[in-house]
């Protein structure tokens, strides 16, 4: 299993309940795919460096996890089809 890190930005219009539901959904994708979550860090609302689809801010969430090489592809697919995700990035932590 490899170590990965994902950072995603959720739409700022989400209320607390919807925000937590989205975070749990993506944690579920990792855990159901055989991955192990090491750390979840919600950075909160921050101003974006540039406007994306007429949105100037978003809620940043960082998740560190360990998984097989197929899981990031499935996670990426889930990020792409979620309307609440503005941007996402998945990186491999091992060199």
For domain 2-92, give its CATH number from 3.40.50.720, 3.30.70.60, 3.60.21.10, 3.60.150.10. Answer: 3.30.70.60
Range list of β-strands (E), 1-95: 2-10, 36-52, 55-67, 85-92
pLDDT of residue 94: 79
Mean pLDDT of 50-77: 95
Does the pLDDT value for residue 95 go beyond 80? Answer: no
3 state SS of 53: coil
Mean pLDDT of 64-92: 95
Q: What is the mean pLDDT of the chain?
A: 94
Are 75 and 29 spatial neighbours (Cβ–Cβ below 8 Å)?
yes
pTM, two decimals, is 0.91
CA distances from 22 to 29, 37, 78, 94 (A): 11, 16, 11, 27
- Residue for token digits 């170590």? 3
Confidence of residue 10 (pLDDT cuts 50, 70, 90): very high
Mean pLDDT of 70-79: 95
């Amino acid at each position: 299993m490899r170590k990965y890190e994902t950072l995603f930005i959720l739409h700022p219009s989400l209320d607390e309940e919807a925000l937590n539901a989205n975070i749990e959904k993506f944690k579920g994708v990792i855990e159901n795919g055989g991955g192990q979550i090491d750390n979840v860090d919600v950075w909160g609302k921050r101003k974006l460096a540039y406007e994306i689809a007429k949105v100037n801010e978003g809620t940043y969430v960082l998740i560190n996890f360990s998984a097989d090489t197929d899981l990031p592809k499935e996670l990426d697919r889930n990020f792409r089809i979620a309307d609440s995700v503005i941007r996402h990035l998945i990186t491999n932590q091992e060199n």
